[in-house]
Structure 1
Amino acid sequence: MAIVFLLICLAAFAGVFAYFVTQALEQTRVRLEERSQAAAQVVAVNAGWLAQVAQQTLLRVDALLGPAMGGDPAVLRAAVEGLPEDVDVYIIDADANTLFSTVPGAEAVSVADREYFTALRDGERLYMSGMIVSRLSGENIFVFSRRVQRQGQFAGAVMVSFSNALIEDFWPSLNLEPGSAVSLFRRDGQLMARYPAADGPVDLSGHPLITNYLPAAEAGTYFSDGSPVDGVARIVSYRAVPGTDILALASIATNQSWQALRGAIVAVILIAAPIVLGLIAGGAWIIRLLRRDARRRAELEAANETNVLLFREIHHRVKNNLQSVQSLVRMQDMPIGARIDLQSRLSAMAAMHEHIYRNDRYEDIDAHDLIPVVVNEVVHAYGANVELSYDIDRVAIDRDHATPLSLLLSELVTNALKYAFSDGRKGRISLILRDSGGGRCHLVVADNGIGIGPIPDAPVSMGLRLIRGVVSQMGGTYRFVTAEGTRFEADLALTSTGHAPKP
């Protein structure tokens, strides 16, 4: 009762504590997910606005260039005058020469190798770059560019570049935990912009965000053990910006929230500590009692192990003694047939004892394992070349019936080897044992030999007398059937319960 009470108290405490921790974890996770999703929505709205600004600016500048790409610089400046401070516009001709720029000195920098120009030259109508480093200012930027065609030919490109600092402008309004981040990515995984700023380009093309989450849903949330940019663990919410190839991400650092949760858990542990100490004190007394009982059990187990070793040694010695008797039999001057019969019986007995001590089966022995061992040993001792087939159910044989069964099998197989194949035919012996339930079985030993012929009611040969005696000892009945060989069938008891009369 004390043990049960202790276990119930501990289980109750563990259950309540586990429920509290689980609920706290779930609430913290939900709160972080909701905040990151809301932040991702804000970032997506701003990203959509940037894309709209870029598209409208590209269209307006393309229209102002005229048929010969010779727009008035004053008109062009007026057209882009209302753009934010961190947005710049460039007009590039087909040879990558800068015709117009809102950045002084842009004419001295070539963009011939920039992908936002080469992609348009190679046929793309619109292009959106990942994060690149500006050759003019050294800042991280991303670029929207539009192919300009005149008379069906590539005439150049119009480009709008955005500074990474634009994201920083709406960062304060998100009010995220320290260590959090917001970013824009292309759908192919290339980083466009991030705050806090990344040290260089980032490629997430092989990240689960691109390979797993985005194909499954245009918006979602997942937990990242470590950011590919800075290694910080975060809750990440992403949202595809409609009408664009932009992904808006808001990543909330989880360390601060988990630390607060750990503090709450520690407070609960301190409150519950007296209860736990009381349970421990009671448990210590119970453990003392259990240790005393454990010592007694260990002594019993040691005694049992000693008995097992003794049984093993006995069976081993019996097997060795039987093998010694076999050696003596081989040295006796006696008819060879009688010698082989005796040797096969001794081999069957030795095989049974060896099987018992090798498998440490001293109470119940599995017929499926024992029968092939005994029969194979008899065939080996006889020196015959026959085909053996077994179909043996897994049924238990107790130690009082293992020896009679081994003798019966030895005698039946020996008779088949001696008489069934005397005309030189290829021998085959089949052994079938079916579990009849209640500790009984149905045994069949059949060969394809010449047949045993009529069996007298009162057998005179030693082998038949032995068979009748063993079957009687096992509380069974038997018969021989001559049909395409000899077939022995018997209903036998394999355990002491099999001898009980049926109700």
Structure 2
Amino acid sequence: MVGVIKDITESKLALKKLEKSEERFRTFMEKFRGIAFQMDIDFNPIFMHGSVEELTGYCIDDFLSGKTNWVRATYPEDLPGAMEVLELIRNTPNFLIEHEFRLRRRDGKIRWVHGIIQNIADDAGNFQYFQGTLYDINERKIAEEALEKIEVVRKKEIHHRIKNNLQVISSLLALQSENFRDDAVVEAFRESQNRVISMSLIHEELYKSRDVETIDFATYLRELTSDLLQSYKVGSSDIRLKLDLDNISLGIDSSIPLGIIVNELVSNSLKHAFPESGKGEIRIKLSRLSEAKQNISEPEDSIGEKNKCFTLLVADNGVGFPEYIDFKSTSSLGMQLVNTLVDQIDGSITLKRGAGTDFIIQFPE
């Protein structure tokens, strides 16, 4: 009798490893709070597994049979972005991309998901199928939104406190000025008070805004110029204020310097432009540069740079800025502030002399 004994230890061990691996994969897929899928070239599902019904409200057969599809299951506002991602990946073999968007369940409830999708191609680069996963990030998104709301409340409180503190400083300056009879000293106090008010108004607008990051700068300018007319006790019958303001939102880093710039230039017009009659017109125009180029005739020596997005015009029809004064090199604190703050916002400023005074400021977004 002849027999053969063969050692199959390695194959048995390999089989056990494979069984364990399959069991781990099976357990993972059973507990996976997401969806694993494959799709054809037209994004129709050809394989789905996982928490399909939990995330979408539809069963797997609804997708595979064509009763529903990803377009219907995607939240309408997020659909354009999702389709853009799919078109990008359709044209890029073996490309992988991640995308967060919302699903609208069958019952109308909304759930956030994180998607990972890949274009699978053969060695020749020919399309085979799309594959990917979607997993539930709804709890994380809810937590992030809650934190954002807390942050907004915190920032609003900060702006509110800063505004109140600046108003206290303004009141102290007003009280202190009452102890002096020298007109020049009183005027210096008033100018300082107006500068503080211009900053206080910024924080008030930020406190009232929804995102506490930007303000409607046109609304701010209306309030600022109204306060300046009251400060200088100028009636609307004496000085006409003509405002032509686009609806432009700006952040605090631009708003505060620009607010002080407008404060200085308008104050300068109120003090010096109309010495005889005390009557005239002050114009302020705020616009995007493309529109401004069509409507404002700038002098030949004006500075126009490609990265400047906005134009601010502050003008009057008064006696004009004195020819002998170089506004970029003057002892006037107000004009020194204007030039310094224009540089701070990476802007440019031009003075147009003639029938009155035009200051043209261009600045980036």
Show the counterpart of 1:21.
none
> What aligned pairs does 1:477-496 form with structure 2 within 5 A after superposition?
477-493=348-364, 495=365
Show the counterpart of 2:74.
none
SS of 1:471's equivalent in the other structure is: helix
Given candidates 378, 392, 403, the residue that maps to 2:228 is 378
Whether the aligned pair in 1 keeps the contact of 2:206 and 2:213 (CA below 8 Å) is no
Show the counterpart of 1:441.
310
User: Is structure 2 residue 175 aligned with structure 1 residue 299?
Assistant: no
- The Cα RMSD (Å) is 3.2
CA–CA separation in structure 1 for the residues paired with 2:349 and 2:336: 13
Please list every run of 5 or more consecutive structure 1 residues that lacks an aligned counterpart in the other structure.
Answer: 16-281, 496-503
User: Is structure 2 residue 164 aligned with structure 1 residue 320?
Assistant: yes
Q: 1:381 to 1:316 in 2, by over 3 A?
A: farther
Post-superposition Cα deviations, 1:283-311, rounded to whole Å, max 9, x if no partner, equal 99xx9997973333222212111111111
Given candidates 233, 248, 252, the residue that maps to 1:399 is 252
Q: 1:313 to 1:380 in 2, by over 3 A?
A: farther
User: Is structure 2 residue 67 aligned with structure 1 residue 13?
Assistant: yes
Whether the aligned pair in 2 keeps the contact of 1:362 and 1:399 (CA below 8 Å) is no
Whether the aligned pair in 2 keeps the contact of 1:389 and 1:430 (CA below 8 Å) is yes
Runs of 4+ in 1 over 4 A off after TM superposition: 1-9, 287-292
Q: 1:289 to 1:375 in 2, by over 3 A?
A: closer
Show the counterpart of 2:153.
309
The one-letter amino acid of 1:468's match is: N
CA–CA separation in structure 2 for the residues paired with 1:288 and 1:426: 63
User: Which structure has the larger Rg over C-alpha atoms?
Assistant: 1
Q: 1:476 to 1:440 in 2, by over 3 A?
A: same
Question: Once the two structures are aligned, what percentage of the paired residues are identical?
Answer: 29
Q: Normalising to structure 1: TM-score of the pair? A: 0.41
CA–CA separation in structure 2 for the residues paired with 1:446 and 1:436: 17
The one-letter amino acid of 2:332's match is: S
Please list every run of 5 or more consecutive structure 2 residues that lacks an aligned counterpart in the other structure.
Answer: 1-34, 38-44, 70-104, 114-134, 291-306
Q: Give the deviation of 1:422 after TM superposition.
A: 2.3
Whether the aligned pair in 2 keeps the contact of 1:344 and 1:414 (CA below 8 Å) is no
Q: Normalising to structure 2: TM-score of the pair? A: 0.55
CA–CA separation in structure 2 for the residues paired with 1:358 and 1:374: 16
Size of the aligned set, in residue pairs, is 227
Whether the aligned pair in 1 keeps the contact of 2:199 and 2:259 (CA below 8 Å) is yes
Given candidates 441, 456, 463, the residue that maps to 2:334 is 463
Show the counterpart of 1:103.
none
SS of 1:384's equivalent in the other structure is: coil
Q: Give the deviation of 1:342 after TM superposition.
A: 1.2
SS of 2:187's equivalent in the other structure is: helix
Show the counterpart of 1:450.
319
Given candidates 265, 271, 292, the residue that maps to 1:418 is 271
Whether the aligned pair in 1 keeps the contact of 2:202 and 2:252 (CA below 8 Å) is no
The one-letter amino acid of 1:461's match is: S
CA–CA separation in structure 2 for the residues paired with 1:439 and 1:320: 34
CA–CA separation in structure 2 for the residues paired with 1:343 and 1:370: 17
Show the counterpart of 1:338.
188
The one-letter amino acid of 1:375's match is: T
Whether the aligned pair in 1 keeps the contact of 2:218 and 2:248 (CA below 8 Å) is yes
